[in-house]
């Protein structure tokens, strides 16, 4: 920040380094919220662990395993994209530039990110090597925070979907199975499962509501800036930088898309549960038991969704809004700068 406001005077150059600063700030805030809400995160993981320990039916276990495999693949892809992008930004771009000799015959060695130390000269050894190592290590920490928050969101969403599938199966079996004995007990199991799933989603909502908001807002700004960087490098015909920034765009688009896709999956699962309760063949049950289904229908009518900051729905519609806003700001930036 000192370098941006005390050394750089060209607004285009300030924009060039602004994305890295914004990314750093967003990851620091996300990590701070993760530390602040660590007890809620722990409770979410405890509930997931309990569900795995309590599953008995093999078909239910297979449903949970399928969801976990999907979650694993998404997380692995995210980790690969994020770390590859980090390597491109932190190592490939500085190394491709090489040493720069100014008109005053001063040699400048590029860093992964611009730095301005009031006391020390960054270009002198071993200050340059120390700063380079610290910046590279800080980058790894930031990318790990990105992957961790992404993984937690994906894991919780996929676990919710698996539990919703199990709930739908329990509802159908409750009516379709010709077992009049223990009917009330099986109804109690269905109601308990439904309440447990909703409580789990509320806990996830309270845990990720602010980190999701930061992710959505940060992605909108970052996509705009990195897209502008691609245009700037395209004018200079710098292939290495273009590839690195395109990799950054892929990372940003992938993360925000999966975030919104997970939210969309939760909405669809909620609608699936609601539709199942409304289409149960209640007339096959005794009057007292059939009336008890009103409780299931009433609970299921409340929509299930995750919200960023309690006012932005996490869904594919939000992803479309992020894309439109990013492109709008990019066009505005191109016309102004």
For 30-78, the pLDDT digits (tens) are 999 999 999 999 999 999 999 999 988 889 999 999 999 999 999 999 9
pLDDT at 117: 61
The residue with tokens 């379709």 is 176
pLDDT at 235: 86
pLDDT at 270: 92
Task: Note whether residue 111 is domain-resident.
Answer: no
Two structure tokens written together for 318: 């939000």
pLDDT-flagged residues of the chain (< 70): 1-11, 13, 97-98, 100-107, 112-120, 177-181
pLDDT at 334: 86
Task: Note whether residue 316 is domain-resident.
Answer: yes
Name the phi and psi angles at 313, rounded to 5: -70, 130
3-state secondary structure 142-210: HHHHHHHHHHHHHHHHHHHHHHHHHHHHHHHHHHHCCCCCCHHHHHHHHHHHHHHHHHHHHHHHHHHHH
pLDDT at 36: 94
Task: Note whether residue 85 is domain-resident.
Answer: no
Task: Note whether residue 135 is domain-resident.
Answer: no
Q: How many domains does the chain have?
A: 1
pLDDT at 78: 96
* Cα→Cα distances 119→116, 122, 125, 127, Å: 9, 9, 14, 11
What ranges make up the beta strands (E) of the chain?
A: 100-101, 107-108, 307-308, 312-313
What is the domain extent for residue 296? 1-57+147-336
Task: Note whether residue 115 is domain-resident.
Answer: no
Task: Note whether residue 268 is domain-resident.
Answer: yes
Task: Note whether residue 95 is domain-resident.
Answer: no
pTM of the model: 0.89
- Average pLDDT in the chain: 86
Task: Note whether residue 35 is domain-resident.
Answer: yes
d(CA 142, CA 21): 11
């Amino acid at each position: 920040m000192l370098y941006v406001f005390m050394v750089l005077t060209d607004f285009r150059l300030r924009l060039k380094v602004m994305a890295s600063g914004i990314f750093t700030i967003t990851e620091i805030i996300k990590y701070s919220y993760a530390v602040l809400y660590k007890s809620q995160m722990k409770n979410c993981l405890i509930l997931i662990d309990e569900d795995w320990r309590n599953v008995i039916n093999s078909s239910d276990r297979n449903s949970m395993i399928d969801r976990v495999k999907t979650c694993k693949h998404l997380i692995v892809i995210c980790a690969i994209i994020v770390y590859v992008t980090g390597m491109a930004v932190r190592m490939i771009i500085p190394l491709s530039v090489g040493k720069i000799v100014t008109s005053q015959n001063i040699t400048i060695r590029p860093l992964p990110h611009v730095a301005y130390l009031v006391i020390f000269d960054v270009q002198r050894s071993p200050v340059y090597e120390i700063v380079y190592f610290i910046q590279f290590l800080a980058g790894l920490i930031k990318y790990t925070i990105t992957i961790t928050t992404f993984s937690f969101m994906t894991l919780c969403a996929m676990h919710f979907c698996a539990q919703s599938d199990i709930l739908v199966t329990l509802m159908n079996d409750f009516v379709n199975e010709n077992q009049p004995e223990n009917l009330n007990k099986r109804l109690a199991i269905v109601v308990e499962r439904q309440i447990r799933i909703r409580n789990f989603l509320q806990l996830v909502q309270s845990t990720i509501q602010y980190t999701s908001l930061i992710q959505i807002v940060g992605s909108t700004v970052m996509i705009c800036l990195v897209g502008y960087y691609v245009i700037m490098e395209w004018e200079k015909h710098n292939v290495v930088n273009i590839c690195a920034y395109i990799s950054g765009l892929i990372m940003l688009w992938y993360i925000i898309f999966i975030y919104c896709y997970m939210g969309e999956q939760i909405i669809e699962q909620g609608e699936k549960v609601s539709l199942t309760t409304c289409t149960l063949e209640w007339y096959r049950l005794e009057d007292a038991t059939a009336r008890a289904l009103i409780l299931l229908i009433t609970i299921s009518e409340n929509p299930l969704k995750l919200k960023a900051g309690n006012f932005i729905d996490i869904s594919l519609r939000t992803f479309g809004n992020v894309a439109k806003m990013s492109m709008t700001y990019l066009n505005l930036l191109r016309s102004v700068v």
